[in-house]
Chains A and B, each alone.
Chain A
Amino acid sequence: MSARRRTLVPLLALACFVVLALGAPWLAPAPPNAIPADGLIQSLPPTVEHPFGTDPLGRDVLSRMLHGARVSLSVAFLSVALASLVGTTYGAAAGWIGGRVDALCMRLLDVALAVPRLLVLLLMSALWGTLPLHTLVLLLGLTGWYDVARLVRSDVRGLRERDFVLAARATGVREARILWRHVVPHVWPTLVVTATLGVANTIALEAGLSFLGLGVQPPDASWGTILRDGQLPGGARWWLTVFPGAALVLAVLTCNALGDALRESFAPRQVAA
């Protein structure tokens, strides 16, 4: 596959996911929490009427998955956006200021990295009891920026010593503008790649937490909570595992493929003579 197509295919796939999620209210056959009018509260395998079956409360799984995509994707996107913002600011500041500030920032980061993220998340959500969505986003965001910070910092540190930064200073450009115009554009590739990989990571993480009952809370639908519903007592219901599981795997794969493709396309040119 050409480099272009390697980027384009996952990009289109991701766009499909986003369109489905955004269009959920119109695309879904039923509202996510609608209990059937006939009062039939029972988990049924796929039929024509319910292509993905129904869950133990009789709700349409397809509809819940579409609405769940909204939740899962927006939690992932928002928390990664937050992580990127925090990570870039931290990393850029450390790298730009340099010296002792930089050394201190990096040691702090080492400490933060030494604590497993999952452990922090489990602990925090357990302490919180029922976790509102925005708090979940905040938690995921505030525990997900370390890698971004490290990468941005090492980029900025390299850029800081480049002569074109000095040249801008010699021209009389003010520091803020130098940072914005001469340094940040060079950090974009790093940022885009880590963010895409971060989204994949966060989708999986959120699903895991929700599956454990610690992430998105019922009755809200997310792919993780639907999976969890499949584990409720009352016998195996494959459709509650296979469909959301497949969506999850597909979404994560898509983001990872996109991240890798982007990384490759941004790879430094061999030599610019």
Chain B
Amino acid sequence: MTAQTTSVAPLLDVRNLTKHFPVRAGWFRAPTQVIRAVDGVSFTVADGETLALVGESGSGKTTAGRAILRLIEPTSGQVHFGGRDVRALNAASLRALRREMQIVFQDPYGSLNPRLTVGAAIREGLLVHQLAEGAAAEQRVRALLDEVGLRAEYATRYPHEFSGGQRQRIGIARALAVEPRFIVCDEPVSALDVSVQAQVVNLLRDLQRDRGLAYLFIAHDLAVVAHMADRVAVMYLGRIVELAPRAALFATPRMPYTQALLSAVPVPEPGRVRRRILLAGDPPSPANPPSGCVFHPRCSHPDRDAMCANVIPALEEKAPAHWVACHKVPAAAPPSLPSTLA
């Protein structure tokens, strides 16, 4: 099951990516259960494209992003980047590949070493990949800080002297330092206030335009996703339940979970009452996912039936380039020709 086919080979091709975390009571005991953090996820990212990954908190977005970079070892599945099989690389080639694939971490506090100055943190990538040294590296660090909207003289300060949003921009500068082709952005703007967020969103898009960067853009803020993404994948409990071009997803969300998600977005208009689809029941546990469709216990679809509870729905192309994992969404037209990117 591949999610989509494009005529040119995509930059990143992820197939059936799976990551299970064993939960043990002690290190000499057998695992008592596994947490299926990512459970068979497939998608592609083309050169210069932004694929947004949204979904329930704890649905495995961060894990998927990290597994692609092999910051955590996937349990199974294939990851190809620029034609190379990422999972087959040895340690040295993997380190070299990290120049091309970067990550901006979700937690701007934890991802900066408190004992290194901001300049040293940004410089590290330049040094290990031998991109610049001495005064040239210094120059580059200043330029990068400037690019993300921080003052160049901040290079000699330590992370604790910065606010959350400032640290997030330091993380972005660090990722940009090695001039990658692809960046996993794990909630890069969620710690930013809207005006700085707008600056960073514009910055990321400018970089994409100028350098042909591709992003896997993980976010909770659907409005930001609407501005950043070419295509959007919705995750629920370790699986992709819907994947569609941005316009189609926001205009005609098909999967009931996506509909609930979109309806829950708070709008900046006090007093406006919105019809919100409330999710019934408790969020399920990835250690013990529901049978059949993982969303069925909380689903509000009127035609929900025994099939939903027993048969796992496949991610199918229900409309051109619009992939949905739901038994109750009718296939609109016969399978389309190879989809074009939005």
Q: Please give the residue numbers on chain A whose beta carbons come within 8 Å of chain B beta carbons, in ascending order.
A: 99-100, 102-103, 162-164, 166-174, 177, 181-182, 185-186, 269, 272-273
Contact = CB atoms under 8 A, between A and B. Distances in A.
A102 B27 CA distance: 9
8 tightest CB-CB pairs across the interface, nearest first? A172-B98, A272-B160, A163-B110, A103-B27, A163-B111, A164-B113, A172-B95, A171-B125
Given A103-B26, A103-B28, A166-B71, A174 B111 contact: no
Interface in B102-151: 102-103, 105, 107, 110-116, 124-125, 128-129
Contact of A174 (B66, B95, B125): B95
Nearest to B112: A164
Given A171-B98, A172-B99, A181-B116, 5 more contacts: A170-B103, A171-B178, A172-B129, A186-B115, A272-B160
A103 B124 CA distance: 33
Contact of B105 (A99, A167, A172, A177): A167
24 contacts: A100-B27, A102-B27, A164-B111, A164-B113, A164-B114, A167-B112, A167-B113, A167-B171, A170-B71, A170-B102, A171-B125, A171-B128, A171-B174, A171-B178, A172-B95, A172-B96, A172-B128, A173-B124, A173-B128, A177-B128, A181-B116, A272-B114, A273-B160, A273-B163
B111 A167 contact: yes
Residue among A102, A171, A174, A272 with the highest chain B CB neighbour number at 10 A: A171
A185 B115 contact: yes
A170 B121 CA distance: 12
B26 A169 contact: no
B69 interface: yes
Nearest to A177: B128
Nearest to A172: B98
B326 to A, nearest CB: 35
Contacts of A174: 91, 95, 128
Contacts of B105: 163, 166-167
A173 B26 CA distance: 31
A154 B243 CA distance: 43
Contacts of A169: 71, 98
A166 B107 CA distance: 12
A125 to B, nearest CB: 37
B162 to A, nearest CB: 10
Contacts of B178: 171-172
A166 B99 contact: no
Contact of A167 (B27, B114, B160, B174): B174
Contacts of A171: 98, 102, 124-125, 128, 174, 178
